[in-house]
Copies of this chain bind each other. A is one copy, B any other.
Amino acid sequence: MKTETTIQGLSASLSKARSSRKTIGFVPTMGNLHEGHLNLVREARNLCDVVVVSIFVNPIQFGPNEDFDSYPRTLDQDSQLLAEVGCDIVFAPSVEQMYGGQSRLTNISVSDITNDLCGAQRPGHFDGVAVIVTKLFNIVQPNFAFFGQKDYQQLAVIKQMVADLNMPIEVIGVPITRAEDGLALSSRNGYLSDEQRQTAPAIYKALKNAEAELKAGQALADVIANIKADLVANGFEIDYVEARTPMLQTIDQFDQDVVIFVAAKLGKTRLIDNIQVAFVV
């Protein structure tokens, strides 16, 4: 496995793969890798000839009061994990490498589907994601790009952008990887105290319960209310509990496929999760 820290170095490393028409699979990450990320890499490994993983904590997707400075940077450990799952090239550029040179004047923004859910609490977040993903796509020029369904809204935003701008890339969403107790894996889980970590799986339990209630015919509004009550009873501070179509349009009743989204805080740590429930006539 090679590690490249410059755009030029990465391009040189990829030029042979490109000229021999090998398929390139790309997994963009912010590092501090867990099994969720590794499953994205395994999926890329299965589908593609060459697997590139980027590790870059992207400053422009963090708000002024968010955890950019304290976000965990664990490159050595990440590299070891990536080598074990068959990554070919790690791209770990500096902020200077990605945003140095001339002042950036170009912004990309996806409207409508970024206005609520995580977008409401994090103004500019998805613009920052759209810009860095576009830059990385243009640098790596992959055939396939892999994103986790845990950040479902992010996945939807990227799919929308790729379609709107005719980017020559297939975006693949990979199901959420969970701990044995059901907690969705996340780098931010490391911020939880032991006690909070014990409480955290209540999110997924509430979502599974909601799935069962929907299938049993309970009204969507009641199901959402039950999740909220459940989380509050477990000591969460709720950001949102929302039902949407798979393309993030609002939905009033369970008459088509639905995705239920939760964002809730335990202490200072914000956790997100979601569940997709298929509508069967």
Task: Name A's B-contacting residues (CB within 8 A).
Answer: 7, 19, 21, 101-102, 104-113, 130-131, 134-135, 138-139, 141, 160-161, 163-168
The chain B residue with its CB closest to the CB of A103 is B112
C-alpha gap A110/B131 in the complex (Å): 12
C-alpha gap A164/B130 in the complex (Å): 13
Residue from A104, A108, A161 having most chain B Cβ neighbours under 10 A = A108
Assuming the A-B contacts A108-B106, A108-B108, A160-B106, are A135 and B166 also in contact, with contact meaning beta carbons closer than 8 angstroms in the complex?
yes
> Which residues of B lie under 8 Å from residue A104 when comparing CB positions?
164
| B160 A105 Cβ-Cβ under 8 A | yes
Assuming the A-B contacts A7-B166, A166-B7, are A105 and B112 also in contact, with contact meaning beta carbons closer than 8 angstroms in the complex?
yes
| B107 A111 Cβ-Cβ under 8 A | yes
| B161 A106 Cβ-Cβ under 8 A | yes
C-alpha gap A138/B137 in the complex (Å): 11
C-alpha gap A217/B167 in the complex (Å): 50
Assuming the A-B contacts A19-B21, A21-B19, are A165 and B109 also in contact, with contact meaning beta carbons closer than 8 angstroms in the complex?
no
The chain B residue with its CB closest to the CB of A113 is B105
For the complex formed by this chain, how many copies does it contain in all? 2
With A102-B164, A106-B130, A106-B161 known, 7 other A-B pairs at CB within 8 A are A104-B164, A105-B160, A106-B164, A107-B110, A109-B109, A131-B165, A139-B166
The chain B residue with its CB closest to the CB of A98 is B166
| A101 B166 Cβ-Cβ under 8 A | no
| A138 B110 Cβ-Cβ under 8 A | no
Partner among B131, B141, B165 whose Cβ is within 8 Å of the Cβ of A168: B141
| A107 B105 Cβ-Cβ under 8 A | no
> Which residues of B lie under 8 Å from residue A134 when comparing CB positions?
165
> Which residues of B lie under 8 Å from residue A112 when comparing CB positions?
105
| A109 B107 Cβ-Cβ under 8 A | yes
| B105 A164 Cβ-Cβ under 8 A | yes
| B163 A101 Cβ-Cβ under 8 A | yes
Assuming the A-B contacts A19-B21, A111-B107, are A102 and B160 also in contact, with contact meaning beta carbons closer than 8 angstroms in the complex?
yes
Partner among B21, B101, B106, B167 whose Cβ is within 8 Å of the Cβ of A109: B106
C-alpha gap A109/B109 in the complex (Å): 8
